[in-house]
Amino acid sequence: MGILSLTALELAKKIQDREISAVEAAKAAIAQAKAVEPKIHSYVTLDEEGAVQRAEEIQKKIEDGVLTGPLAGVPAAVKDNLCIEGQLTTCSSRILSNFRPIFTAQAVVNIQKSGAVILGKTNMDEFAMGSTTETSYFGPTRNPHNPEHVPGGSSGGSCAAVAAQECWYALGSDTGGSIRQPSAFCGVVGLKPTYGTVSRYGLIAYGSSLDQVGPVAKDVADCAAILETLASHDVKDSTSVKREDIRFTDALKADVKGLRIGIPKDYIGEGLDQEVRQALLDVAKLLWKKGAVVEEFDLSLVKYAIPAYYVIASAEASSNLERFDGVKYGYRAGDYEGLHNMYKKTRSEGFGPEVKRRIMLGSYVLSSGYYDAYYLKALRTKALIKQAFDRAFEKYDVILGPAAPSTAPKLGESLKDPLKMYLGDIYTVAVNLAGLPAMSVPAGKDSRGLPIGMQLIGNSFQEKTLIRAAYTFECETEKQFVTPAAGKGRE
Amino acid sequence: MNNMGKQYETVIGLEVHVELATKTKIFCGCSTAFGGAPNTHTCPVCTGQPGSLPVLNKQVVEYAMAIGLATNCEITRVSKFDRKNYFYPDNPQNYQISQLYLPIARNGYVEIESGGVPKKVRIHEMHMEEDAGKLIHDEWDDTTLVDYNRSGIPLVEIVSEPDMRSADEVISYLEKLRTIIQYLGASDCKLQEGSMRADVNLSVREAGSTQFGTRTEMKNLNSFKAIARAIDGERNRQIELLEAGKPVIQETRRWDDNKEHSYAMRSKEDAQDYRYFPEPDLVPIVISEEWIKEIKAKQPELRSEKLERYKREYDIPQYDAEIITDSRIIADIFESAAALCGKPKKVSNWLMVETLRLLKEHNMEPQDIRFSPGNLAKLVDLTEAGTINSSVAKEVFEKIFADNTDPERYVEENGLKTVNDEGALKSVIEKIIADNPQSVADYKGGKEKAIGFLVGQAMKAMKGKANPQMVSQMLKQAVTESDS
């Protein structure tokens, strides 16, 4: 088996055992990226020279016995909304197309400390607004399983890079499903942690009360190990939570005996693709066979999650994106007359249509006279959704559902009808509103060969329960990350 | 002004911004020190870098609580920050983190006196917020530069009810607030430097009316005098409009104190929609009963308490106590120096007379005082022991005031000790009598004043170091004894 097919933990072990060097691994990933990038376009920036240099430094630390962690020396990619000092960090937007931060995001610092060799920055929907990675200023990313299809979004670049073996793992961010849905579409494992688990310091905000950074991995074990390095209490982020229970790899046990799994009726009813539905029921059956208790139940209020999410996320985004004004950093329009004209031209030219749509929506719901009717009502809905989940978790340990209504659509299909695209987030956004942890795990492929993802949702701080259920399932099935179509030929 | 027999009443409410005396900014660790080269007291947070997040400075909350408690406010148990959205380059995020929905304190009051009559001015609310940066326009190349050193300096805004009726009441309200806040150590409250800023909301109505008139908001008021002039100016402007049958327009006006005239800045119609919403990057501030108790316990003695104690404990007159307690800094010097030398009235005299005179002469504020209470106490000791006389003492005090000079050393090094040695004086006096026969004769002839001249001559000859009482006494004796 070639080096690219190893999981991150397997690779790290070989590096520790001096069978492979971090430099060889980095070079292999770069070679793979150069081969597949023309077709897939996972990266906005692939930092070849820097990566090899960092790999050399890390290899030395490994040889000196300074770096001994389970992920030391493993090449990784970072979504382009996470700041890295001195490195282009664009959010896949024209307005930040020349932006180099003066500090590094805490989540990135954490994986750097664990010995990650960062290869570059991955493509995304502009400012994480979109479900297909087609709204990127730098052009779309394509699905490694079938380049006619989208990889999902907004962390499409991170998921495609892992699926196409252009890195061993990646960081994504999830505001309304942006890790889970593209992980499902690309056949990789993605996890959105409980709100507050991973520092948001240095994550360029979309919807501050919903954003979480999380891992995109080849399998469940890698996912748990990466999450372990990512999670930390950070005094620089006031919403960061101090957690004691972050030894997530302890949960890698194939055992679901007595685990109570609930499937919301709304999640397997109307609007769900039949093949996805069947795959999900197969998962349920397998877990039941392994000793879990599986039931259907009513998770009310789900239909209100999408409007509440789009009101809250857009409202926060409209404010978060105000700082991009051409004054301090980033793109500034070439010629303008006076301050207001500079603002107007810079932002008109700097933002793409989806970002503008959400800024307008967000500004509207916050304007005086509409605040109560939209924003405040959405906040109340959010609280009710949280209560509905609280009730569900009195009865169940894990909620099982799809990550998306279908497998990956074709390029160009989604943006024609934004409202329909928003509705595609039906199974993921409620989790962000409630601040819960959830993960997406590959669950087979449809008749066209496109990956299907299942979603596991846990109660706050119960990532370990999710990891145990996912690991149990994974042990019973064939891992899916192995050599997707686009990656073939380099091995 | 009062035309056609109509009587008007002025209704005034104030919005007072106070810069808090924290060492670091409200949402980051940058220094709040005044001055500094542009953009040197900055970091990713206070320059609005993408990905940066605010972290609340606890000291800001504690100062705000202290001010709230000292102004009889209710402290909000669960307080929150909100974002106020508006585009301007001095505001790096294009939103200001402030408080709209759940401000830290509400429903307070302060007691003022106006024309000898006590009055309560109610406080509607007080909230915490961040200051903006400063724009510097370069006329030469017609560009505007921005300095974010001020960005993120903590402020509280104290909003009064429209309870004031005259410039006098406004000034006494502001003086009262200033004294309270300075005593708490929460701010130095310098109007000129902008660490205390007041916006005046003013309307007029016919006397006896219970309806409020349309109000205007006046900005750019940098001194108590400017505030008083602006209030008179705006009152007259509004009355003239009403007398002419024209409406007062609700608007924000900018006062130009040089021209003694205000200019419309923006009307209500141009008012921006700030799209306030809860700041998602900060968690609610939960204030427990214990925390409030802790702040109350730490609360320093306020002015009225101190004043009473001084009269009681130090036996100084009401007049002295009022002047000394007007500034906490002077009061602190008084207490320390009095404790060291044990002569409170003497210390109080130096503070009330010479210190205030020198402050005024140098256009300084009490917070600019550099001398230590120890040196003042030493000076009192030197004078009381008769080591130096009062005119030398004044000279020495000026040194102390200017450079915090040690008076003992200064007196020693400059040979300023009063000469109490009769032998040394005697020969000088003999010489003066010999040199000034006319004055001696005048004195003997009944001209009492002539002795003054002789004392002056003797003091001059002694280079001021003699004890003048002693000189006078010895002179009188010598003259009487001298043969005529």
| Helical packing angle, B450-461 and B422-435, nearest 10° | 120
Residues carrying CATH 1.10.10.410, chain B: 422-481
Instruction: Please state, in angstroms and rounded to a whole number, the distance separating the CA atoms of residues A425 and B388.
Output: 89
Q: Would you say B479 and B454 are in contact if contact means Cβ atoms under 8 Å apart? A: yes
Judged by CB atoms closer than 8 Å, whether chains meet at B87 and A328 is answered as no
Provide the shortest C-alpha distance from residue A209 to chain B (in Å).
Answer: 5
**Residue range B141-192, pLDDT digits in tens:** 888 999 999 999 999 999 999 999 999 999 999 999 999 999 999 999 988 8
Averaged pLDDT of chain B: 91
Q: What is the rounded CA–CA span in Å between residue A398 and residue A403?
A: 14
The answer to whether the CB atoms of A201 and B51 lie below 8 A apart is yes
Q: Which pLDDT score is estimated for B269? A: 67
Active-site residue identified among A178, A183, A318, A406: A178
Q: Looking at beta carbons, which residues of chain A come within 8 Å of B93?
A: 322-323
d(CA B90, CA A187): 47
Residues 184-213 of A with CB under 8 A from B: 200-205, 207-209
A370 interfaces chain B, CB cutoff of 8 Å: no
Mean pLDDT over B300-307 rounds to 88
The length of chain A in residues reads 491
**B368 CB burial (10 A radius; 0-12, 13-18, 19+):** exposed
How far apart are the C-alpha atoms of A251 and A272, rounded to whole Å? Answer: 31
How confident is the model over B61-109, as pLDDT tens digits? 999 999 999 999 999 999 999 999 999 999 999 999 999 999 999 999 9
* pLDDT exceeds cutoff 80 at A426: yes
DSSP assignment letter at B300: P
Residues 53-92 of B with CB under 8 A from A: 53-56, 83, 85, 87, 89, 92
Determine whether A60 is an active site residue: no
Please write the tens of the pLDDT for every residue from A215-255.
Answer: 999 999 999 999 999 999 999 999 999 999 999 999 999 99
Residue A218 annotated to the active site: no
Whole-number pLDDT of residue A489: 37
Side chain identity, residue B373: P
> CA-CA distance, B130 to A476, in Å (whole number)?
56
| Mean pLDDT for the stretch of residues B113-118 | 86
Inter-chain touch B53–A200, beta carbons under 8 Å: yes
- On chain B, the residues whose CB falls within 8 A of the CB of A88 are none
Q: Is B440 exposed, middle or buried (0-12, 13-18, 19+ CB in 10 A)?
A: buried
Please give the pLDDT value at position B465.
Answer: 77
How many percent of chain B have pLDDT more than 70? Answer: 97
In eight-state DSSP terms, residue B31 is: B
% of chain B residues with pLDDT over 90: 65
Which residues of chain A make contact with B94, given a CB cutoff of 8 A?
Answer: 322-323, 325
Q: What is the mean pLDDT of residues B224-251?
A: 94
| Secondary structure (3-state) at B357 | helix
Is any Cβ of chain B less than 8 angstroms from the Cβ of A336? no
State the pLDDT at residue B304: 85
* pLDDT score, position B140: 85
CA distance A181 to A439: 10
Is the Cβ pair A323, B48 closer than 8 Å?
Answer: yes
Among A21, A42, A131, A154, the active-site one is A154
Which residues, at least 6 apart from A479, have a Cβ–Cβ distance to it below 8 Å? A218, A219, A442
* B4 pLDDT above the threshold of 80: no
User: Are B87 and A200 an interchain contact pair (Cβ–Cβ within 8 Å)?
Assistant: no
Q: Write out pLDDT tens, residues A439-458.
A: 999 999 999 999 999 999 99
Question: Is A318's Cβ below 8 Å from some Cβ in B?
Answer: yes
Active site (annotated) includes residue A300: no
Report the run of H or E that residue B440 belongs to, with start and end.
helix B437-444
State the CATH class of domain A3-258+462-487.
alpha beta
The model's pLDDT over A6-43, given as tens digits with 9 standing for 90+, comes to 999 999 999 999 999 999 999 999 999 999 999 999 99
Predicted TM-score (pTM) of the model is: 0.87
For A202, nearest residue in chain B (alpha carbons): B51
Q: Is A389 on the interface with B (CB under 8 A)?
A: no
* Tens digits of residue pLDDT in A163-181: 999 999 999 999 999 999 9
- Choice between A211 and B443, residue whose per-residue pLDDT is larger: A211
Distance CA(A321)–CA(B191), nearest Å, equals 35
Which of B47, B51, B144 lies closest to A105 in CB terms? B51
Options 3.30.70.120, 3.40.50.800, 1.10.10.410, 3.90.230.10; CATH for B422-481 is: 1.10.10.410
Pick from B51, B83, B283: CB nearest A239: B283
> Of B148, B281, B283, B285, which to mutate for an interface test with A (greatest number of A Cβ within 10 Å)?
B281
B146 touches A: beta carbon within 8 Å: yes
Residue A327 in contact with partner chain B when CB distance is under 8 A: yes
Q: Is A343 on the interface with B (CB under 8 A)?
A: yes
Q: Are A432 and A175 in contact (CB under 8 A)?
A: yes
Task: Read off φ and ψ for residue A143, nearest 5 degrees.
Answer: -75, 120
Alpha-carbon separation of residue A70 from A8, A24, A230, A318, B339 (angstroms): 9, 18, 13, 40, 67
- B274: nearest CA partner in chain A: A367
Which chain A residues contact residue B50 at CB under 8 A?
83, 89, 91, 96, 99, 101, 204-205, 323-324, 329
For A8-167, strand residue ranges (E) read: 43-46, 75-79, 117-122
Could you tell me if B284 lies within 8 Å of chain A, comparing CB atoms? Answer: no
Q: Do the chains contact at A82 and B51, CB–CB below 8 Å?
A: yes
CB pairs below 8 Å between A and B: how many? Answer: 96
**Which residue's entry shows tokens 């009681």?**
B312
CA-to-CA distance for B168 and B171, rounded, in angstroms? Answer: 5
Q: Looking at residue A486, what is its pLDDT?
A: 43
Cβ-contact A421, A131 below 8 angstroms: yes
Cis peptide before A155 (omega within 30 of 0): no
The DSSP bridge pattern shows strands B74-75 and B78-79 to be unpaired
Q: What is the predicted pLDDT for the residue at A479?
A: 67
- What ipTM was predicted for this assembly? 0.95
Residue A280 has pLDDT above 50, yes or no: yes
Predicted confidence band of residue A480 (pLDDT cuts 50, 70, 90): low
Average pLDDT value for residue range A67-84? 97
Which residue in B27, B52, B144, B270 has the most chain A C-beta atoms within 10 A of its own C-beta, making it the best mutation to test that interface?
Answer: B52
Cα distances (angstroms) measured from residue A59 to each of A11, A30, B426: 13, 17, 96
Task: Note the pLDDT of residue A477.
Answer: 87
Which one, of B81, B67, B70, lies nearest residue B27 by Cα? B81
pLDDT in tens, A86-105: 999 999 999 999 999 999 99
Q: Which of A79, A121, A218, A464 is catalytic?
A: A79
Are residues A322 and B94, on separate chains, in Cβ contact within 8 Å? yes
Closest residue of chain A to B277, computed from CA coordinates: A366
**For residues B28 and B228, is the Cβ–Cβ distance under 8 A?**
no
Which helix (H) or strand (E) segment holds residue B263: the answer is strand B261-267
Higher pLDDT, B156 or B387: B156
**A89 Cβ under 8 Å from any chain B Cβ:** yes
Whether residue A287 has pLDDT greater than 60: yes
